[in-house]
């Protein structure tokens, strides 16, 4: 009788195992498709913004009226900022893109400063500014040529971004020269960097690109790699009590940090990486590579999960200011509130899985860069809220006004009144300097607080 039961049981076990394996394969496959689509979307948007940037600069070179010049320079400034954001979303950590990033940043800085100076003086760009703009336009054409050619390769030879993504750890170790040259995508960006090295550097007045903000949030003594592993285990919490956590390598960048990797036998095909600063042992970022197939919690519940995670790890008084969902993963931005002031430069971004509320990612680089425990508290603003209300556009319907700290173009912290208002169906956040009344910046956001336009 027992022998008769063994064969059916073995067959049942085989079917269950095969079904589980197929399910895991499908989950991984879906994650790969979503990741590839997201990378390709960022790449297409990069091409579009660089193309618009080049067009705006070309038009500005022939513009004969002051209003047209200002409008075109402003358009170019917005496009260059968007292109920098799209470039940062691509998996190109294995490639040195310092020249490309510097050029995009120079275009942004030049167009912003020139437009701002023009509005103050009422003058058209002078000959030096015109020459600098022409040189920036010519070098932008180099970027546009290379990325447009690369797009053709994607369609003709079926290049894949995930293949580039897998080169990241190899490239960071300095052992990937052959791999980078053999991969069509990384080779194209290496050729772009080489092309930009062959053109002269562009200098202009008001260039603040050499300024790098000091990471004032890195406090405390240096920690060892073994201490970094212990910090990672405490940070990940009880859900990772059975995980294997090990030191991977030292990362050189804006500040030295340890790469720590966590693997858990209960989380098949999932790896969690953390960057922990050498000075002070602060967690700069964390990322887990798993897809979320079916959502079970909404954005409000995801916010609660994120807030609980931050509270457990000692990030107090954090308030959510925006959230959005993509591929069943909620991205939530938290900002600390101290002395009734929202401190936007010290934001933390979390990725929360909408199936079980697990924290899949955290970006705290802004916090460790701009948090300064030794800085004196802001003094009372010289302008009161009532005076700010008088400065508002009469067509704006104000919903809320509160104090907030933001950064200016030179990374200086500025105390402002944040005015939350609507015009027709559009929502805006407008920032007025709390000491001068100057309108520092305007952000157009959606109902969830995310930047649009």
307-336 average pLDDT score? 95
58-76 average pLDDT score? 86
Q: Is 32 helix (H, G, I), strand (E, B) or coil?
A: helix
Spatial distance between the Cα atoms of 57 and 59, rounded to a whole number of angstroms: 5
Spatial distance between the Cα atoms of 163 and 390, rounded to a whole number of angstroms: 56
Q: What is the pLDDT of residue 176?
A: 46
Tokens of 74: 């402003």
Q: What is the pLDDT of residue 172?
A: 41
The strand pairing partners of 273, in sequence order, are 261, 287
**Higher confidence at residue 230 or residue 33?**
230
Q: Quick one: pLDDT band at residue 174, thresholds 50, 70, 90? A: very low
Spatial distance between the Cα atoms of 334 and 448, rounded to a whole number of angstroms: 13
**Higher confidence at residue 33 or residue 2?**
33
Burial class (CB in 10 A: 0-12, 13-18, 19+), 72: buried
- Identical fold at 27-197 and 292-371? no
| pLDDT tens, residue by residue, 411-437 | 789 999 999 999 999 999 999 999 999
* Most confident segment among 17-26, 44-53, 97-106, 295-304: 295-304
Rounded alpha-carbon distances, angstroms, from residue 158 to 33, 89, 95: 14, 20, 20
Domain 292-371 has CATH 3.30.70: no
Q: Quick one: pLDDT band at residue 179, thresholds 50, 70, 90? A: low
Helix (H) or strand (E) holding 420: strand 413-423
Q: Which of 94-103, 203-212, 301-310, 339-348 has the lowest mean pLDDT?
A: 203-212
| pLDDT tens, residue by residue, 145-173 | 988 888 887 777 677 777 777 665 444 44
Q: Which of 10-14, 235-239, 253-257, 404-408 has the lowest mean pLDDT?
A: 10-14
Q: Please state which CATH class domain 385-445 belongs to.
A: alpha beta
What phi and psi, each to the nearest 5 degrees, are found at residue 374?
-90, -10
| pLDDT tens, residue by residue, 361-374 | 999 989 999 999 98
Fold designation for 214-290: Nuclear Transport Factor 2; Chain: A, (3.10.450)
Domain boundaries, the chain: 27-197, 214-290, 292-371, 385-445
Q: What is the pLDDT of residue 32?
A: 66
Q: What is the pLDDT of residue 175?
A: 42
What phi and psi, each to the nearest 5 degrees, are found at residue 61?
-65, -25
CB neighbours of 120 closer than 8 A, spacing ≥ 6? none
Q: What is the pLDDT of residue 410?
A: 64
Q: What is the pLDDT of residue 208?
A: 53
Fold designation for 27-197: Methane Monooxygenase Hydroxylase; Chain G, domain 1 (1.20.58)
Q: What is the pLDDT of residue 31?
A: 58
**Inter-residue contact 171 to 180 (CB < 8 Å):** yes
163-188 average pLDDT score? 61
Closest to 69 measured CA to CA, from 59, 54, 78, 81? 59
Spatial distance between the Cα atoms of 239 and 303, rounded to a whole number of angstroms: 19
Q: Quick one: pLDDT band at residue 321, thresholds 50, 70, 90? A: very high
- Token pair 């955290």 is found at 362
**Inter-residue contact 196 to 142 (CB < 8 Å):** yes
- DSSP assignment of 340-368: TEEEGGG-EEEEEETTT--EEEEE-HHHH
Q: What is the pLDDT of residue 262?
A: 94
Closest to 57 measured CA to CA, from 45, 65, 68? 68
For residue 5, is pLDDT > 60?
Answer: no
| pLDDT tens, residue by residue, 210-267 | 455 678 899 999 999 999 999 999 999 998 988 999 999 888 777 899 999 999 887 7
- The per-residue pLDDT of the chain, averaged, comes to 84
For residue 375, is pLDDT > 50?
Answer: yes
**Inter-residue contact 260 to 282 (CB < 8 Å):** no
52-69 average pLDDT score? 87
23-28 average pLDDT score? 53
For residue 178, is pLDDT > 60?
Answer: no
What phi and psi, each to the nearest 5 degrees, are found at residue 358?
-65, 140
Rounded to the nearest 5 degrees, what angle is found at the Cα of 62, between the Cα atoms of 58 and 67? 100
Q: What is the pLDDT of residue 219?
A: 93
The strand pairing partners of 331, in sequence order, are 324, 351
For residue 353, is pLDDT > 50?
Answer: yes
179-197 average pLDDT score? 78
Q: What is the pLDDT of residue 173?
A: 41
- Token pair 């040259």 is found at 181
Tokens of 40: 């390709």
* Burial profile 350-380: b = 16 or more Cβ within 10 angstroms, e = fewer: bbbbbbebbbbbbbbbbbbbbbeeeeeebee
282-289 average pLDDT score? 91
């Amino acid at each position: 009788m027992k022998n008769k039961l063994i064969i059916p049981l073995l067959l049942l076990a085989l079917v269950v195992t095969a079904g589980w394996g197929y399910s895991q394969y499908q989950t991984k496959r879906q994650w790969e498709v979503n990741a590839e689509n997201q990378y390709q979307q960022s790449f297409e948007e990069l091409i579009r913004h660089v193309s618009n940037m080049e067009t705006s600069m070309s038009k500005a070179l022939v513009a004969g009226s002051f209003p047209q010049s200002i409008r075109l320079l402003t358009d170019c400034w917005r496009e260059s900022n968007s292109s920098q954001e799209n470039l940062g979303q691509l998996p190109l950590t294995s490639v040195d893109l310092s020249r490309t990033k510097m050029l995009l940043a120079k275009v942004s800085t030049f167009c912003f400063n020139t437009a701002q100076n023009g509005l103050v003086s009422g003058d058209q760009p002078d000959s030096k500014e015109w020459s600098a703009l022409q040189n920036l336009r010519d070098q932008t054409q180099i970027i546009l040529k290379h990325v447009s050619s690369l797009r053709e390769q994607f369609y003709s030879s079926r290049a894949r971004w995930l293949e580039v993504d897998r080169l990241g750890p190899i490239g960071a170790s300095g052992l990937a020269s052959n791999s980078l040259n053999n991969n069509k995508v990384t080779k194209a960006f290496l050729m772009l960097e080489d092309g930009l090295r062959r053109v002269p550097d562009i200098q202009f007045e008001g260039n603040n690109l050499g300024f790098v903000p000091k990471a004032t949030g890195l406090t405390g003594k240096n920690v060892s790699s073994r201490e970094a592993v212990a910090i990672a285990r405490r940070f990940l919490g009880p859900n990772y009590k059975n995980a294997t956590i090990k030191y991977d390598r030292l990362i050189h960048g804006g500040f030295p940090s340890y790469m720590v990797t966590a693997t858990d036998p209960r989380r098949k095909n999932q790896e969690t990486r953390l960057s922990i600063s050498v000075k002070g042992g602060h967690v700069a970022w964390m990322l887990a590579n798993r897809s979320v197939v079916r959502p079970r919690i909404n954005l409000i519940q995801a916010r609660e999960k994120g807030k609980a995670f931050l509270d457990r790890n000692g990030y107090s008084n954090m308030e959510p200011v925006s959230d959005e969902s993509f591929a069943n993963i909620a991205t939530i931005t938290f900002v600390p509130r101290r002395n009734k002031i929202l401190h936007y430069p010290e934001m933390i971004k979390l990725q929360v899985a909408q199936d079980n509320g697990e924290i899949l990612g955290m970006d705290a680089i802004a916090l460790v860069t701009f948090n300064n425990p030794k800085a004196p508290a802001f003094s009372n603003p010289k302008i009161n809220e009532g005076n700010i209300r008088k400065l508002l556009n009469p067509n704006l319907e104000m919903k809320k006004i509160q104090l907030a700290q933001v950064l200016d173009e030179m990374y200086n912290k500025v105390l402002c009144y944040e005015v939350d208002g609507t015009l027709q169906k559009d929502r805006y956040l407008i920032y007025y300097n709390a000491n001068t009344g100057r309108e520092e910046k305007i952000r157009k956001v959606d109902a969830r607080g995310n930047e649009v336009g």
